[in-house]
Amino acid sequence: MSIHSLWYKRRFHIGTPKNMEKYERILNAAIKVFAEQGFHQSTVSQIAGEAGVADGTIYLYFKNKDDILVQFYEFKTSQVFQRFRKEVDKVDTAVEKLRRLIYTHLYEFQNDRHMAIVFQAETHQKKRLAGEQIRKISKLYRDIISELVELGQEDGTMRRDLYLGLVKRFINGAIDEVINSWIHTDGSYDLVSMADPLADLIIRGIGNHGVASPVKVRHLPKEQKGNPVIT
């Protein structure tokens, strides 16, 4: 049983495969509508129409439109962060892990542009409906970065004079800006192609010169699905 099925069962106490499929279908439909219409302009009827269900069916799974957005952060984005952790754990050195994190982050957001739009838009709202969920996700991401930097300091590939709090904001902010720029150009270029240049800039800033090895990402063809390949 997947972690996502377990999450669903914990939340709803019951969870048949049919219910799980419908729940995910509604959630994905809502994210598509939010991305295309904007959250405040979207309606439950539009979401129901996109999901191919009756309006009333929405309320079997969600309290209201706001609850859909909150559950998006609790459920949908948790899938992505599970993949971040899985990919980072596949390699050993701090530099390899950082490159893999950056690549996987860009890959996942490019692979689901609707998710990227909603995630970025809500994250930057001054009044955020999913504020608590965003804080939890942000902490999870910063914790991964902290682990990588501390590992790099231990193995000598990253500078020991770094302010960890500043480094976390620097890396998170850089990736965030790259994704925002891609969204604002309507995804007109390959977001993943920015992974290596971005990783190089970051590693040159926080790494010990001449120590951090330039492990490169082998880009996937656009039509290829699945996990990123890193060499």
- Closest by CA position to 191, among listed 103, 85, 124, 77: 103
Q: How does residue 16 score in pLDDT terms, banded at 50, 70 and 90?
A: low
Q: For residue 227, what pLDDT is reported?
A: 44
DSSP 191: G
pTM of the entire predicted model? 0.79
pLDDT in tens, 164-198: 989 999 999 999 999 999 999 988 899 999 999 99
> Which ranges of the chain does DSSP label H, i.e. alpha helix?
3-12, 17-37, 44-51, 55-61, 65-71, 77-88, 94-111, 113-123, 131-155, 164-184, 195-206
Domains and their CATH numbers in the chain: 1-62 (1.10.10.60), 65-230 (1.10.357.10)
